[in-house]
Structure formats: C-alpha cells, structure tokens
A = this chain, B = another copy of it.
Amino acid sequence: MADEKKTRISVNIYGKTYTIVGSEKSGHVQQVASIVDEKMRQLRDRNPALDTASVAILTAVNMTNDYIKLQQDYEQLEEQLKKEKD
C-alpha cells in the first residue's frame, strides 16, 4: 500500500491479527482483508490438507492471476478508447 500519511490499521485474516501500515482508509483496508480472508477459506475448503502458508500463497497466486487478466482487459479498453477518439 502507498506511503504518504501512514496509518496503522488492525485486521483479522484467517484467525490472526495483522497491522496494515499505509495511507488507505480503514474501510478500504477492512474490505481488502475480508476479501483475502474469504478467498483463503474458500481455497482451504477445496483443499483441506493445505497448511496456512500454502493456502495464503495459492490465494496470492489466484489474486495475481486475476490482476494480470484485468490489466490485459484494461489495456484493451484503453486501445478501444483511443480508436473511438481518432
């Protein structure tokens, strides 16, 4: 998260409390934490034998995959907008 005007926000993810340091608003940080918590629990439900670190790593993999795909969609949309303007 960004660096200006740092705040410290406590969130609970997968049964443990983490302090998130950043410039984001508390509501936003809580929303992000609750998405990660939910995605980790869904992944654990599908793979009950996984330890916490593996659940978290595979959740990060899924989020990164989603991010890259959205980034490609974003670039396509930018391209389309450029064409509309021409």
Q: Which residues does A use to contact B, with CB under 8 Å?
A: 1, 11, 13-14, 16, 18, 20, 24, 28, 31-33, 35-36, 39-40, 51-54, 56-68, 70-71, 73-74, 77-78, 80-81, 84-85
Contacts and interface: CB of A to CB of B under 8 A. Distances in A.
For the complex of A and B, 7 pairs with smallest distance between CB atoms: A56-B56, A63-B63, A60-B60, A53-B53, A52-B53, A84-B84, A56-B57
Q: Which one of A14, A39, A62, A80 has the greatest number of beta carbons of chain B within 10 Å?
A: A62
Number of copies of this chain in the oligomer? 2
Nearest to A80: B81
Nearest to A22: B65
28 contacts: A11-B61, A13-B61, A14-B57, A18-B54, A18-B57, A18-B61, A28-B68, A31-B68, A32-B65, A32-B68, A35-B68, A36-B57, A39-B60, A39-B64, A51-B53, A53-B56, A56-B56, A56-B59, A60-B60, A63-B63, A63-B67, A66-B67, A67-B70, A70-B71, A70-B74, A74-B77, A80-B81, A81-B81
